[in-house]
Amino acid sequence: MTASPFPTYPPQLEADVLVSARSLAEYTDMFGLDERDRASRIVDCPGGAASAVAELGAAGGDAIAVDPQYSLGADELRARVLADVERSVTESRRRHPDYDWDVRGGVVGHEEMRRAAAETMLDDLCARPEKYVAGALPSLPLASDSADLVLCSHLLFTYADILDFDMHVASLVDMARVAPEVRVYPLVDHSGNPMPEFIRSMISRLKKARLTCRIEPVERPFQLAATTRLVVERTAHRRP
């Protein structure tokens, strides 16, 4: 069988994963972004339908998104994004008690934010297609040290039942190749279950790759169980 020429994740993940639409405000909360972060070279992977790259670009920032779905044609991608926004909204309603709705302006405010983020991202994709790169972990199609910060939202750990331990380690090592700092959120699976042993073993493995790790609190978590993020840095790198 000939390998697919397009970046992809395992077939089960392709079917299950949401092409999520999140705003820069949500990214700021999830990843603790400050003014210095927003002025740095950022990679969002997987970018999905998040509007962070579009919003950062509009403010003069330097950010790109990487996602296997960007290999789709414009019409097919738009259909997938809008369908997944509705799927995400439906899932959030179903799991209403799992979230702090006040953080996102209530159910209506949250849904409006999701749809607005998707439209902003799709408009930016048409205007600046070079900022949306087709690619998939664990091997990003980006040069080493081509960014200052990689953000990874709702893929690693979230789908730990599909992506195995070695895939997680390889993904984090490759993101740390692209940038000296990587931030990952959340540290629970898609049902909100913590994975302390999984994370401890991963940190031990990453230490052997000369990467340091720390777990930071998230000040305004939307998902009640997702109160921390993982920060991975090269051993020689530490922000002053």
Residue 18 pLDDT greater than 80, yes or no: no
Q: Could you tell me which residue, 77 or 131, shows the higher pLDDT? A: 131
Cα 88 from Cα 117, distance rounded (Å):
13
pLDDT band at 4 (very low <50, low <70, confident <90, very high): very low
Two tokens, residue 88? 């995400």
Report the pLDDT averaged over residues 8-14.
Answer: 64
What is the pLDDT, as a whole number, of residue 14?
61
What is the pLDDT, as a whole number, of residue 1?
25
What is the pLDDT, as a whole number, of residue 237?
60
pLDDT band at 2 (very low <50, low <70, confident <90, very high): very low
Q: How many CA atoms lie within 13 Å of 90's alpha carbon, on the beta-carbon side?
A: 7
Residue 12 pLDDT greater than 70, yes or no: no
Mean pLDDT of the chain: 90
What is the pLDDT, as a whole number, of residue 7?
66
Give the full edge-to-edge strand order of the sheet including 132-133: 132-133, 62-66, 41-44, 149-153, 181-185, 228-234, 211-217
Residue 13 pLDDT greater than 80, yes or no: no
Length of the chain counted residue by residue: 240
How confident is the model over 198-228, as pLDDT tens digits? 999 999 999 999 999 999 999 999 999 999 9
Tell me, rounded to whole angstroms, the distance of Cα 91 from its chain centroid: 18
Cα 171 from Cα 182, distance rounded (Å):
11
How confident is the model over 88-128, as pLDDT tens digits? 888 888 888 888 888 888 888 888 988 899 999 999 999 99
Domain spanning 11-234 has what CATH number? 3.40.50.150
Residue 76 pLDDT greater than 80, yes or no: yes
What is the pLDDT, as a whole number, of residue 49?
92
Q: 231 forms bridges with which residues in the sheet? A: 183, 214
Report the pLDDT averaged over residues 165-187.
Answer: 97
Report the pLDDT averaged over residues 3-30.
Answer: 75
Two tokens, residue 138? 């664990």
What is the pLDDT, as a whole number, of residue 202?
96
Residue 189 pLDDT greater than 80, yes or no: yes
Report the pLDDT averaged over residues 132-138.
Answer: 94
Going from N- to C-terminal start, the domains of the chain cover 11-234
* Percent of the residues in the chain that have a pLDDT greater than 90, as a whole number: 68
Report the pLDDT averaged over residues 36-56.
Answer: 96
